[in-house]
């Protein structure tokens, strides 16, 4: 897994336009959907349909109708809809990992890097025009609503061995490295990070759907309150290990 920017020439302006290409584990698909126009349509419209109707109601037959193709053509890319969901969620985590790496790699202050990582986690629901076939705002909603179905299953060990959770593990390890750089004596970096990532999505979901379960009002236009909550949760634990 990894990420890269390519610079195709815009047909109207003739100037290079950056396009983000994320590499997801090749164990998650039969054919890389990012390599073909049809594959990119499968990704784009599967995100729309799953967000629109929910994963249970989503089928390859409905997707084929939406993209004016056939079910057989979709099965050339993914074995089943569960594999497609694994791919989409893995793409999302790889994208968040890319954003954190991009925004922190030139910085030296561990506290600043950790604060940026928390902000990226919170802002990852915003759409990125660099990934033209993926609507990250819709995909973010899918990750919140549907991703628990990937690991709350009796087959979790088997699908884990196939790399289903590798992108998520890589992201958590990146942030855990930032935690350890800031507070070297803290022994539970990965546990804290997985808790924080879950808290971001949980608080966003509660704020929108179950407001009686949270004091945080996660306004997309004013996310400061959620960020303050995350920073308070993080640094109140870590500061004593960082000698603060």
Question: CA 94, CA 169: separation in Å to the nearest integer?
Answer: 10
- Of all residues in the chain, what percent are helix, strand and coil, respectively (each to 5)? 60, 5, 35
Q: Is residue 77 a contact partner of residue 29, using CB atoms and an 8 Å limit?
A: yes
pLDDT at 209: 87
pLDDT at 44: 97
The reported pTM is 0.88
pLDDT at 218: 67
Low-confidence ranges of the chain (pLDDT < 50): 4-17
Question: CA 73, CA 60: separation in Å to the nearest integer?
Answer: 10
pLDDT at 11: 33
Q: Is residue 117 a contact partner of residue 175, using CB atoms and an 8 Å limit?
A: yes
Question: CA 97, CA 60: separation in Å to the nearest integer?
Answer: 29
Domains of the chain from N-terminus onward: 2-238 (1.10.357.10)
């Amino acid at each position: 897994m990894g990420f890269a920017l390519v610079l195709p020439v815009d047909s109207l302006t003739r100037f290079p336009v950056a396009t983000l290409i994320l590499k997801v584990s090749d164990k998650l698909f039969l054919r890389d959907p990012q390599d073909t126009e049809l594959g990119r349509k499968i990704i784009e419209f599967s995100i729309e349909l799953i967000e629109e109707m929910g994963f249970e109601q989503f089928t390859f037959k409905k997707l084929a109708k939406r993209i004016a193709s056939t079910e057989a053509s979709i099965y050339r890319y993914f074995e089943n809809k569960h594999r497609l969901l694994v791919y989409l969620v893995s793409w999302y985590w790889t994208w968040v990992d890319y954003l954190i790496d991009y925004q922190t790699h030139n910085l030296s202050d561990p506290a600043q890097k950790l604060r940026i990582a928390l902000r990226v986690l919170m802002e990852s629901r915003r759409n990125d025009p660099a990934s033209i076939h993926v609507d990250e705002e819709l995909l973010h909603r899918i990750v919140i609503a549907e991703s628990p179905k990937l690991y709350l299953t009796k087959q979790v060990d088997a699908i884990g061995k196939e790399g289903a959770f590798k992108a998520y593990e890589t992201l958590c390890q990146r942030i855990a490295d930032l935690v350890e750089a800031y507070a070297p004596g803290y022994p539970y970096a990965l546990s804290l990070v997985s808790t924080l990532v879950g808290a971001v999505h949980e608080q966003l979901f509660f704020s929108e759907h179950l407001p009686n379960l949270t004091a945080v009002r996660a306004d997309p236009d004013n996310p400061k309150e959620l960020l303050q909550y995350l920073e308070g949760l993080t640094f109140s634990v870590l500061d004593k290990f960082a000698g603060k």
